[in-house]
Structure 1
Amino acid sequence: MASKAKSEGGIVETIKTVVYALLIAGAFRTLLFQPFWIPSESMKETLLIGDFLFVNKMAYGYSRYSCPFAMCPFEGRILGSEPERGDVVVFRHPVNGSDFIKRLIGLPGDTVQMKNGIVWLNGQEVPQTPDGQFEEVYERQGPMGNLPRCENGPVGEGGLCTRSRFIETLPNGVQHTVLNIDTNGFGDNTDVFTVPPGHYFFMGDNRDNSTDSRYSQAVGGVGMLPADYLIGRADRIMFSSAGKSMLYFWTWRSDRFFKAVE
């Protein structure tokens, strides 16, 4: 009987340990940092497919979407602070519920327009400085096996895929890299968008391969994003793998470990 009681006591302690560990992990994920894998090329070359980072959830405060499955029991944002233009932000898509990551371009009250692939903010051109080319091998990338888009296409598998690279300087002085293929697509020439109060305008750094605020939610875009859907700021890449699985150690990008997101 003593042995049986001891065995049952051990099982109970194990269950308690597991429960406590799950609660601590849940609190860490809800209040502090959320892991995020980069699944697409919309933020190249700032973020590559297979980059792994932790999202700083303290940066903008908390909303219902700060909790897994949007289960936080309150409306609006608490302990909130305003994001800054140029931040790389993870947010919840208002329609399909997926987590997206894009760069914040337009603040409440701003006007945003694309003209021939150039951003115009509040009637002023956002300067871009040519910065050579972004090069990568034309091959399937990540678990989804996506093939990159190339400015020098068509490119055979294993060939060199290139895109024009520019340094964009936002009005607050934030500089970041953008990639461009052409200047004639729908997203390269748009009407004037006016960002409503309490909303934000996001764009991907890979300008011709990003579904963002230039496109309405009705066609799968982001549109003007309400502040409640912000999850957190991407500050640093912790790990990066170019392969289908992080276990493929020969595809690890050691030069991106602990790299700051700029």
Structure 2
Amino acid sequence: MSDELIRIPAFLAEETGDYGIMPMCDFCAEVACETADMECGQTCGQSCGSQCTVSECKQSCSQGCSQCGSCESSSQTVYTAPTFTITNITETGADINVSPGTGYTRYRVFARLTSDPDDVSYDWTFSETTAFTAEMDSLEPKTEYTVNVCGVIGNTSDKWAGAKTFTTGGKSRPADWSWWSAVAAGKPISISADEWKAFYDRIDAFRIYAGQGAWGLYKPVSKGTVISAAIVNEVRAAIGPITTAARPKYINPGDPITADYFNSLKDFLNSVP
């Protein structure tokens, strides 16, 4: 190529004499990055074999001058990656707090199950130029997620902030149950309707914690109602699937239900890990 001659613009004619021609390499180094309203800097020229064209110069300037060396035009946009932090992590949610980079008007916030590279459940685009927060919800407890944020140009994800992981918390175990009333051997058993309902509610809380769902078969008792074998056997059945402890014995109709048995139901529920 160094032997090839080309006709040059008039503004360079005075440097080439009356012939209006000059070697290709000289022209390449002189004007290739400084035409078509492009001011890419004096050091943009390279040897003829690897010279940037004007279009290449423009592209590399938009990408941070990675190819053309010194892009000195004041009109060139500088693109820098966003940053982010992860806060307010709960068993089912987290906040992704994004600090925008420079040059972008849109940002992509992406999160997935770390264990599943193909998961695309959380992938949003935000048109923000100031700090913003993406709120994640409906997450799985005790599960690791991978998060990343990037600037967007057109339909292209450009500069990524860098992936981070976080793990959601576990569900909070309900408090152990204690009878409100005095339930002791040799003493009359007096459990109110409200207390019995509260006991059922605590059973459901433990079942939900264990992933079984509410029992939903509560049989209300009223003041003065004797808690029957059928009722305590139902409690025994509701607790059984959520603990590996030995169940209290099955009560046959007409069998007495002692204070010890009520306390065994309490201990059975509290054995849920």
| Richer in strand (by share) | 1
Q: Which has the larger radius of gyration?
A: 2
| Richer in helix (by share) | 2
Please, what TM-score do these two structures have when normalized by structure 2?
0.18
Bigger relative contact order, structure 1 or 2, given CA contacts below 8 A and separation 6+?
Answer: 1
